[in-house]
């Protein structure tokens, strides 16, 4: 199989076993970026030379029998709101054109320490202010499922590049839904961890009391792998939690028997697209079949967004309509808890429908386990956009 057809978990295993070199893996994704990004505009900067050098160093260490990090050889794209010492950090604004920070964000440092390969910086709403990725000073990102539609925002570049297999994993930031909402509109999995679970140091802030960095990937298992590497206490971030980091990947196998999932009544109000409702209702049925029980509540599971991906320009003249795009996601940030979104179906027009789960603080193992179980029982997360080959 080609590297773009493998999950992040499979890619790391292949590099460790010598079935695939880090250089081969990295080059395959860089070539795909070079071929597709003129169409999608998901990246603001691609570091081909630096990424191939990092991959070659990993290959040399593996050949010499030296230990490798838990993400060895895994290409990762990083939202341009995170500082990178050797790459431009512009927050999609011309005001920061050419700016290269003198340090890495804590998340970037942890990725490098885990032997991930940073392939580039992704497009976003300028300074993360937006919900559609149409506010970038460098042009909007296109949704790989329909190039006339928005990918969501503000982490739209990260979502689009994963959906188009230009990177197996991307890093986003979530202030009111900016990981989960674009993940939902682009048909991938996005995890917003508990506030403080991942250090915010080096993230250009939108709202410091709400911002949280998290992984975006095709599956919950891939998100679990990356979260193990980037989570943890940072003494230089006063909001960072001094809590032990679980081995998220080892907790995915636990059954869902006894799990209670709340179905948010208010999410079924006027404005919810009928096809989105259908996909969400069918997702609840999958969880019930897996041993969970579903109860009507005021807050925990429901749709990520009331509608599928909307047309570019459709909401830019209506601030209230744009704000409502994050209506179902912002409560997670206000409460400081974790949330995850993942695909649960498609509309008749072929657009992804996203499902969202929320859980108490530091319950990421439960969120990842529930999403992983759902993805073992369905194949929505494995589907690829037909327009992007």
Residue among 23, 132, 154, 219 flagged as catalytic: 154
State the Cα torsion 229-230-231-235 to the nearest 10°. 120
Please write the tens of the pLDDT for every residue from 243-283: 999 999 999 999 998 999 999 888 888 889 999 999 999 99
CA angle (32, 37, 38) in 5-degree steps: 130
Q: What pLDDT is stored for residue 324 in this prediction?
A: 77
State pTM to two decimals: 0.96
- Report CA torsion sign: 258, 9, 191, 145: negative
- Among 339, 328, 322, which residue's Cα sits nearest to residue 131? 322
208 in catalytic set = no
Q: What pLDDT is stored for residue 322 in this prediction?
A: 83
Beta-carbon contacts of 292 under 8 Å, excluding residues fewer than 6 positions away, are: 256, 257, 258, 259, 260, 261, 370
Q: What pLDDT is stored for residue 299 in this prediction?
A: 63
Structural domains of the chain, with CATH: 3-251 (3.90.1300.10), 260-382 (no CATH)
386 in catalytic set = no
Distance CA 279, CA 128 (A): 29
Distance CA 215, CA 180 (A): 10
Beta-carbon contacts of 180 under 8 Å, excluding residues fewer than 6 positions away, are: 174, 190, 192, 304, 329, 332, 339, 340, 341, 354, 356
- Among 58, 62, 94, which residue's Cα sits nearest to residue 76? 58
Residue among 7, 21, 23, 79 flagged as catalytic: 79
Distance CA 150, CA 348 (A): 18
Point out the residues of the chain with pLDDT beneath 50: none
192 in catalytic set = no
Residue among 93, 155, 178, 341 flagged as catalytic: 178
- Among 132, 131, 127, 141, which residue's Cα sits nearest to residue 94? 127
């Amino acid at each position: 199989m080609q590297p773009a057809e493998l999950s992040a978990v499979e890619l790391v295993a292949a590099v460790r076993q010598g079935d695939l070199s880090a250089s081969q893996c990295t080059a395959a994704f860089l070539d795909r970026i070079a071929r597709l990004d003129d169409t999608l505009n998901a990246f603001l900067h691609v570091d081909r030379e630096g990424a191939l050098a990092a991959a070659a160093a990993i290959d040399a260490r593996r050949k010499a029998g030296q230990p490798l990090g838990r993400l060895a050889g895994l290409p990762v794209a990083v939202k341009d709101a995170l500082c990178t010492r050797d790459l431009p950090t512009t927050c999609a604004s011309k005001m920061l054109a050419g700016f290269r920070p003198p340090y890495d964000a804590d998340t970037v440092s942890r990725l490098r320490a885990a032997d991930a390969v940073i392939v580039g910086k992704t497009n976003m709403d300028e300074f993360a202010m937006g919900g559609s990725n149409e506010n970038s000073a460098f042009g909007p990102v296109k949704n790989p499922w329909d190039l006339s539609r928005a990918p969501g925002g503000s982490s739209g570049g990260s979502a689009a590049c994963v959906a188009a297999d230009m990177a197996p994993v991307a890093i986003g930031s979530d202030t009111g839904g900016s990981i989960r909402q674009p993940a939902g509109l682009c048909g991938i999995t996005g995890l917003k961890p508990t506030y403080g679970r991942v250090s915010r140091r080096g993230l250009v802030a939108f709202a410091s009391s709400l911002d949280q960095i998290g992984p975006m990937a095709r599956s919950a298992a891939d998100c679990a792998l990356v979260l193990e590497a980037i989570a943890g206490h940072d003494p230089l971030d006063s909001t960072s939690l001094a809590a032990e980091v679980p081995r998220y990947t080892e907790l995915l196998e636990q059954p869902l028997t006894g799990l209670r999932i709340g179905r948010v009544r208010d999410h079924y109000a006027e404005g919810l697209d009928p096809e989105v409702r259908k996909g969400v209702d069918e997702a609840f049925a999958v969880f019930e079949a897996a041993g969970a029980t579903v109860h009507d509540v005021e807050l925990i599971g429901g749709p990520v967004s009331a509608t599928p991906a909307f047309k570019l320009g459709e909401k830019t003249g209506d601030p209230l309509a744009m704000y409502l795009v994050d209506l179902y996601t912002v409560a997670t940030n206000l409460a400081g808890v974790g949330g995850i979104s993942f695909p649960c179906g498609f509309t008749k027009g072929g657009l992804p429908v996203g499902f969202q789960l929320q859980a108490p603080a530091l319950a990421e193992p439960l969120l990842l386990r529930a999403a992983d179980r759902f993805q073992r029982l369905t194949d929505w997360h494995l589907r690829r956009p037909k327009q992007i080959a």
